[in-house]
Amino acid sequence: MEKSLPLPLEQQARQAAPKSHVRRFLWIALSLALTLYWTFDAVHGYASKQSSSDSALKAACSQPAALFPTTNNEALQRMWDYLSTPAFENASIVRHSGAVQVPTQSYDDLGVIGEDKRWDVMYDFAAYLEATFPLMHKKLKVEKVNTHGLVYTWEGSDESLKPLLLMSHQDVVPVPDSTVDAWTHPPFSGHYDGKFIWGRGSSDCKNQLIAIMESMELFLDAGFKPKRTILLSFGFDEECSGRQGAGHLAPFLLERYDDNGIAAIVDEGAGMTTAWGTTFATPGVGEKGYTDVHITIRMPGGHSSVPTDHTSIGVMSELITAIEAEQYPTFLAEDSPFLGLLQCGANHAPEFPKKIKKLLSKHVAANTCKAKPDFLALEAAKMGPSTQYLMQTSQAVDVIGGGVKVNALPERTTVTVNHRINIGDTPEHVWAHLTELAKPLAKKYGLTLHAFDGTKEAALSISLSPSETTLKVAPITPTSIDTLTPYAIIAATTRALYGEEVIVSPGMMTGNTDTRYYWNITKHIFRYGPGFDPSWDKGMGRIHTVNEKISAVNHFNMVKWMTLFVRNMDDAKLE
């Protein structure tokens, strides 16, 4: 748009009212010059902003050089060489297979530890670890927290260095009896077929636990003496929200090391994958929030031969339909790790979609308004649900119950709706949304609405209440590589092991890990499974379902990564 002349010149023009052709020519020339100046200024300003946007995009996702330990000796070199020998690989397969064979299943309805006998299998697993890794149990401090939580402490020589904490969990999701015959190999056999180790927990996540233990045992055997204290913390009920395991372990360690007293945490999480013609490592630097919402409808009962027009089951069905009909918005918050992954793809992946790259450039140039469609997120979501739900709060109606007899009207119907909350969203927003959906139904059927007011249920009502495991979106881990940060060491260690053609990018978890309890102990939390087998890039190895398995090469590489990372962290003077 052209700019109007400044008011003083307009006034002068009216006052002058040039009569001669010369004056009129001079006035037209002046007007044209000013118009051209302001037009050029506007165009140049836009071009500068666009150039700045392009530069910002190109500057994103810079990569650190591969990092190798600076200190070395013959024993540590022999240890490193040993990790690539058949002797180590065969022994490692046996150790991991043995761990899978202990059926450490955790259930949502587990009772009190010491009373519910289903917990007792954890004694067997602890005994297996002690027999398999004797040096650790002889030379390190081993503590048990809330009976089955395990803490190993290897004291470093330099008390000024914050400790490194490596984590995993001992438990696995249950295997339903009805699915056992669908497994290629029995779910707790730990069968090795020459390429894969099969069984529940083989990739979620006893592989990470055993890899950590193997690296520590080998370090002890090699005479390694760490400067930085190394801590291991293994929960035992992560698969049912971790309240008994990590829920006790985190306060135990927090009391000992104080707020922000740990240098970094590495726990299970996102790994490595190939996308857009490039291999990406995506350590999780954030994870979504969580809330289960329990809904109960209480309505009059009676004999089914004289039914009411609508039962509690029918009304609940209507509410479920309303819930599923309205999805949460898809958007990318400015601090979303997935935005970082897209920037990495745009800069480093030859097959990165051109349309997304164009939208990404515009997204960088402006602050996206949440009230308007986020076209970048909507376009990226077309890649599939696993991508979509990195940018959207999910909802899943998972549990329902109602009615007790065919000739009795159901007086009580219940539903649980699971939500994983997007970065930039909150549990309170989810609760408000569900409340708005329930209001018209309560009015329609003459029911009282109790929405998140502390009333779990009442006669003739719709009641909504949150679960005890409600969780806000996790704090985002810093990902700068301008200085020697834990993220920079994670990235540089990964590129040292797998090659500098691997691009390390911020990743995000759609689910939650035991790290939910450790937010206060460090700002540097990484949910990362660093094992990788380039010949079998199939994601997460069918975790939580039939035929869970892991490539043996993936497991060997995880042990190698752990040994490199521990030594790189030990050498580091963190900023």
**Is the pLDDT reported for residue 1 higher than 80?**
no
CATH at 252: 3.40.630.10
Q: Is 428 a catalytic residue?
A: no
Dist. CA 457–CA 212, nearest whole Å: 47
What confidence category does residue 25 fall into, taking pLDDT thresholds of 50, 70 and 90?
Answer: very low
At 412-433, the pLDDT tens digits run: 999 999 999 999 999 999 999 9
- Token pair for 356: 């997304």
265 and 275 in a single domain? The answer is yes
Count CA atoms within 13 Å of residue 234 on its CB side.
Answer: 28
Domain containing 178: what range? 74-106+115-286+474-571
From residue 96, alpha-carbon distances to 137, 217, 536 in Å are 18, 14, 19
Residue type, 245: G
Dihedral sign, Cα of residue 516, residue 522, residue 523, residue 526: negative
pLDDT of residue 12: 36
Q: Indicate whether 37 belongs to any domain.
A: no
293: β partners: 417, 466
CATH at 403: 3.30.70.360
What confidence category does residue 20 fall into, taking pLDDT thresholds of 50, 70 and 90?
Answer: very low
pLDDT of residue 40: 39
Dihedral sign, Cα of residue 5, residue 9, residue 14, residue 17: negative
429 and 532 in a single domain? The answer is no
Closest CA to 435 of 466, 468, 469: 466
Contact partners, residue 385, CB within 8 Å, separation at least 6: none
Q: What's the pTM?
A: 0.87
Residue type, 537: D
**Is the pLDDT reported for residue 555 higher than 60?**
yes
554 and 495 in a single domain? The answer is yes
**Beta strand pairing call for 164-169 and 230-235:** parallel
Options 171, 204, 425, 570, the catalytic residue: 171
Question: What single DSSP character describes residue 408?
Answer: B
Q: Is 533 a catalytic residue?
A: no
Count CA atoms within 13 Å of residue 488 on its CB side.
Answer: 14
At 295-306, the pLDDT tens digits run: 999 999 999 999
257 and 307 in a single domain? The answer is no
* Percentage of residues of the chain with pLDDT beyond 70: 87
Dihedral sign, Cα of residue 520, residue 522, residue 524, residue 526: negative
Options 204, 237, 238, 374, the catalytic residue: 238
By CB atoms closer than 10 A (0-12, 13-18, 19+), residue 35 is middle
Domain finish residue from 473, 505, 523: 473
What is the pLDDT averaged over residues 547-565?
A: 97
189 and 261 in a single domain? The answer is yes
DSSP codes of every residue in 29-75? HHHHHHHHHHHHHHHHHHHHHHHHHHHHHHHTT--PPP---S---HH
